[in-house]
């Protein structure tokens, strides 16, 4: 299936794209005032005024966005007031190969310029650390720090398209460092300091960074954790790094404690004169972020995202789908290792205030974050199903305990938000909240389906598909289906797709990651249902990637540590999902004569925690006699998942030893 010069008509009829009557009642509907004041309404009105759609209706706008991509993205650039040179049409150059489509090929922009246009004294970043550390930067102060960062990096010979790595907490100086890199055209790759040496090196070695940003320590669950010993350890295997910059967590680190003169302190940056010329504009497709997604085999895959694609998509999602405005305050519960950090930071492009938190999110049963929301009058609060579940289980009653009257939107991602969690939010948070479950991924640095301030919320469903994304549910034959579970696909190119994978000049890994199941159609790996109302239900991952309370983890990252133990013959990690949790279960087959003792189990958990991260530690470790094998000798993870969840095993006829599944069922009966 080749993508022609213009995408084909949607396989869904127009009526199926609209919000048809439903027997289900929405759990929330926006007021007329809210609809009238929404950025989305302004955009739909602009489309109507320009005769692109006959009336201000989201379904009509969605139709237009996928039928006329060149025109839609051009109109969107103007509406969102992207700062830069839009260039000449066509703005979308389709290719017979989906992944080689080019967007805004003559456009130029600077990502940092677009996030720092607001030079006022209003707050840009507010930081809360678990240890009671707090600080804030105004837009004026942030702009000054970014200018100094950019000049410092230039003086350290960092060039456009060089890569800069960061092992950092989620704090204002981290944001400034990223923007300093973006300002001079260098690529940014950040990892959370909780990662172990193996996990860090398998990412950073791929990008060969020239500069490493880090901090001296961070706090988690009340403990101070030192970072610098880990940095010294990994530097021995990162010969490309010529400079290390330490951004002190609480400003207490003395300069004279650094190891040698290739290490620099934040004070060195503060003493660097700011750049006094505008930042250079780079091509739309210029590399900005190097993000790592976990695969089921091999090393984590490095995905390269462009400055233009990221900016355009994030501004669309934040301003239109999230209704973020200059007067708003936005927060998302994230670390610097997750794409939601990149997404959150893009909130600066609206002139809003961004709140950062670093530490254990469930301090005082989650009240810590909710108290921050109250104190900062957060209007848009981002979290995940795990947080909401723990808050509910702890008996926290936000509406009674706190004043959250400023909060108007709650976002949740990382895993499907269950109907019971919708019910909890609408019973225990302020009544007029738009609860938006959103779903996308590192792969697209954005969302395929998400919220919408002018549409109703249905329990257990995502409000709509994202403007400009031809999202469909395919059956196994590659046909679009409605009201039936199918594979999440995007059947036409989009600007925030990766510009490539790291060290993948042939594009073979890129091709294999998304285009093997359905030729020339992006296959994402989620099971979804698109309803006849245009809403989306996300069921689960359709591949083997693990979901540890919303954090995606590749099984290979677990296996590479498990096989250090001579007692273990084979291992299989799967996700066990219930209404109450989404956790990793590790099954192991022991070598002859070996048994799974408490001591061995403790050693396995400790190694995973030290070498990978606490997220990699399984909920349960269970010894089994063998794994189900296909007739070709491959272990069937899908059969194990079905067995432990008590669901029908789809491929039992293809198994050489289906009887072994009884051992797995018994563990979860």
pLDDT digit string, tens, across residues 452-496: 999 999 999 999 999 999 999 999 899 999 999 999 999 999 999
At residue 411, what are phi and psi to the nearest 5 degrees?
-105, 145
Yes or no: domain 123-280 corresponds to CATH 3.40.50.300: no
pLDDT digit string, tens, across residues 613-668: 998 999 999 999 999 986 556 688 888 988 998 887 765 656 778 899 988 887 77
Q: What is the architecture of the domain spanning 546-668?
A: 2-Layer Sandwich (3.30)
Beta bridge mates, 488: 473
Residue 287 tokens read as 């590399």
Question: Taking a C-beta distance cutoff of 8 angstroms, is the pair 149, 118 a contact?
Answer: no
Name the residue ranges covered by the structural domains of the chain: 14-105+384-541, 123-280, 546-668
Query: What count of other Cβ atoms lies within 10 Å of the Cβ of residue 319?
Result: 23
- Cα–Cα distance, 193 to 608 (Å, whole number): 15
CA-based torsion, 130, 132, 138, 141: positive or negative: negative
pLDDT digit string, tens, across residues 251-283: 777 777 787 889 999 999 999 999 989 999 999
- Cα–Cα distance, 171 to 354 (Å, whole number): 11
* For the ranges 147-156, 196-205, 219-228, 255-264, the one whose mean pLDDT is highest: 147-156
Asked, colleague to colleague, whether 14-105+384-541 and 123-280 share their fold, the answer is yes
- Bridging pattern class, strands 464-465 and 446-450: antiparallel
How much of the chain exceeds pLDDT 70, in percent? Answer: 93
Query: What count of other Cβ atoms lies within 10 Å of the Cβ of residue 256?
Result: 6
Tell me what the mean pLDDT of segment 72-92 comes to: 97
Hey, which CATH number is domain 14-105+384-541, 3.60.21.10, 3.40.50.12780, 3.40.47.10, 3.30.2350.10?
Answer: 3.40.50.12780
């Amino acid at each position: 299936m080749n993508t022609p010069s213009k995408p084909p008509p949607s396989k869904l009829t127009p009526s199926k794209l609209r919000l048809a009557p439903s027997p289900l009642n929405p759990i929330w509907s926006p007021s007329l005032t809210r609809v009238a004041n929404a950025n989305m309404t302004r955009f739909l009105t602009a489309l109507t005024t320009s005769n692109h759609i006959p009336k201000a209706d989201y379904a009509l706008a969605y139709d237009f966005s996928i039928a006329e991509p060149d025109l839609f993205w051009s109109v969107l650039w103007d509406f969102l007031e992207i700062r830069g040179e839009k260039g000449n049409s066509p703005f979308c150059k389709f290719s017979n190969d989906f992944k080689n489509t080019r967007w805004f090929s003559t456009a130029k922009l600077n990502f940092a310029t677009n996030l720092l246009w607001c030079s006022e004294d209003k707050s840009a970043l507010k930081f809360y650390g678990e240890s009671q550390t707090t600080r804030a930067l105004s837009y004026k102060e942030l702009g000054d720090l970014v200018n100094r960062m950019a000049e410092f990096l230039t003086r350290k010979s960092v060039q456009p398209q060089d890569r800069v790595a960061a092992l950092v907490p989620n704090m204002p100086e981290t944001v400034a460092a990223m923007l300093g890199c973006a300002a001079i055209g260098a690529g940014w790759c950040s990892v959370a300091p909780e990662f172990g040496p193996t996990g860090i090196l398998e990412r950073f070695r791929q990008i060969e960074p020239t500069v490493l940003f880090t901090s001296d320590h961070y706090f988690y669950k009340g403990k101070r954790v030192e970072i610098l010993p880990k940095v010294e350890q990994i530097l021995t295997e990162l010969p490309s790094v010529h400079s290390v910059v330490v951004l002190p967590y609480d400003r207490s680190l003395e300069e004279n404690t650094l190891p040698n003169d290739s290490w620099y302190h934040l004070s060195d940056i503060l003493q660097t004169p700011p750049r006094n010329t505008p930042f250079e504009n780079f091509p739309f497709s210029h590399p900005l972020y190097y993000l790592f997604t976990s695969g089921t085999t091999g090393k984590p895959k490095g995905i390269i995202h462009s400055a233009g694609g990221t900016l355009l998509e994030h501004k669309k999602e934040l301003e239109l789908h999230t209704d973020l405005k200059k007067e708003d305050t936005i927060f998302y519960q994230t670390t610097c290792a997750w794409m939601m950090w990149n997404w959150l930071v893009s909130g600066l492009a609206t002139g809003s205030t961004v709140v950062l938190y670093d530490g254990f999110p469930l301090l005082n049963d989650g009240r810590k974050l909710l108290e921050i929301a109250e104190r900062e009058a957060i209007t848009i609060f981002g979290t995940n199903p795990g947080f909401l579940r723990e808050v509910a289980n702890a008996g926290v009653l936000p509406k009674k305990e706190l004043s959250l009257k400023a909060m108007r939107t709650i976002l949740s991602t990382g895993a499907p938000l269950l109907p019971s969690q919708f019910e909890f939010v609408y019973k225990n948070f302020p009544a007029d909240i738009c609860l938006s479950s959103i779903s996308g991924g590192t792969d697209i640095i954005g969302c395929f389906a998400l919220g919408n301030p002018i549409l109703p919320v249905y329990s257990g469903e995502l409000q709509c598909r994202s403007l400009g994304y031809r999202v469909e549910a395919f059956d196994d034959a590659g046909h679009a289906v409605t009201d039936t579970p199918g594979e999440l696909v995007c059947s036409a190119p989009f600007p925030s797709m990766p510009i490539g994978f790291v060290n993948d000049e042939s594009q073979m890994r890129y091709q294999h990651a998304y285009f093997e199941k359905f030729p020339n159609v992006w296959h994402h790996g989620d099971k979804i249902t698109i309803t006849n109302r245009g809403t989306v239900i996300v069921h689960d991952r359709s591949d083997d990637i693990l979901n540890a309370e919303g954090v995606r983890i590749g099984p290979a990252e677990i296996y590479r540590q498990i096989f250090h133990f001579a007692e273990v013959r084979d291992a299989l990690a799967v996700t066990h999902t219930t209404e109450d949790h989404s956790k990793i279960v590790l099954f192991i087959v022991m070598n002859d004569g070996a048994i799974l003792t408490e001591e061995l189990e403790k050693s396995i958990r400790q190694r995973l925690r030290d070498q990978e991260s606490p997220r990699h530690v399984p909920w349960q470790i269970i010894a089994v006699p063998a794994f189900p094998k296909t007739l070709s000798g491959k272990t069937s993870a899908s059969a194990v998942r079905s067995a432990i969840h008590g669901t029908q095993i789809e491929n039992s006829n293809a198994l050489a030893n289906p009887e072994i599944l009884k051992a797995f069922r018994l563990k979860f009966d």
